[in-house]
Structure 1
Amino acid sequence: MNILQRSEDWHSERCSKVTASRVKDLNAKPNKGKALNALVLIILAERLTGVQKEIPTNSAMQWSIYNKPYAIAAYENEKGNFVKGTGLINHPFVEMFGASPDVLVNEDG
């Protein structure tokens, strides 16, 4: 799938899925199960409403968004590899799991 990240379509595609940014909450220890419980409730609400919970942008994320084009250009120049932006990539075996890498390198990722 090649949908622009952070677009409305991208958010719709991610809705109610366990994504790479959420998977850490699946491994919550029993005494720290709040993260897992919260994730289950968020995904349930997303499935019922069809609307993804808004992801707040912090200063580190904003820095990354701003500097990503410069990092990509530096990488391509240094390594001679070309990258391609990508949207959500669904897990090949686990339904409702996916990830949105920033870019893929060369034709085979």
Structure 2
Amino acid sequence: MAEMVQGSPEWLAERVGKLTASRASAVVDRTAKGKPTADYERYLMELVAERLTGLSAPHFVSSEMLWGAEHEPVACAAYEFETDFDTTKIGFVPHPLIPMFGASPDRLVGSRGLVEFKCPTTLTHIKTILAGTVPEDHCPQLDAQLACCPEREWVDFVSYDPRVPDDMRLFRRRVLRADRADNIHNLEHESRIFLAEVDARIERLADACRPGLKEAA
């Protein structure tokens, strides 16, 4: 599946009903009381619907998201220039051990790395620069990419904005597998629980529609 072009009909079809890295935060994020957020249930039911219909759930695409997608190639060129790395596009990568779980890193980097590009609003970009670290809400996505690509040792997080002065345009931070080992393990654990709940929800729906069940009740 790695040969598929991201965004193509084949790529979209391969992701249907599967937990993907871009939505991994819904699986691991917790409220102040330690409970799953509302996004957990929403995403769970979204995957149930996708598996029942075989169709991708519709998603709103904002002007900022379109702008980011259009500028990703520019961000990649800037990254390659700064690092002197060669990058390779990749499609959907299934997790080697967890069925119905996969990731689509933006690029492979050499033989050991990955890179994830974000081209956000200028406000978000400068906040990231000032914080000097990977925004916490993006960490589950990076953890999921490393989980699905166990041969890769690191992923570079890149925020890029061509609207700011040249020396502020590219922000890069490397996330090492070794530093995220516990987070990756937790994500895999929670992913198994989440996917089991998706299966259980579908079974409940099947039971509810089974002839004679209501009469027996």
Matches of 2:99 and 2:36 in 1, distance apart?
26
- 2:21 counterpart letter in structure 1: A
Render the CA deviation track for 1:4-63: whole Å, top value 9, x for unaligned: 111111110110001112221123447664212111111111111111112322233212
* Root-mean-square deviation over aligned CA pairs: 1.9
Structure with greater contact order relative to length (CA < 8 Å, sep ≥ 6): 1
Q: How does 1:8-27 map to 2 (within 5 A)?
A: 8-27=9-28
**Aligned mates of 1:55, 1:24 — CA distance in 2:** 17
Equivalent in 54, 72, 86 of residue 68 of structure 1? 72
User: What is the aligned partner in structure 1 of residue 101 from structure 2?
Assistant: 97
Instruction: Tell me the equivalent position of 1:77.
Output: 81
> How far, CA to CA, are the matches of 2:82 and 2:27 in structure 1?
37
- Where 1:21 maps in the other structure, the secondary structure is helix
What 5-or-longer segments of structure 2 have no aligned partner? 114-217
Partner residue, 1:38: 42
Q: How many residues align?
A: 109
| Structure with the larger helix share | 2
The structure that has the greater radius of gyration is 2
Normalised to the residue count of structure 2, the TM-score between the two structures is 0.46
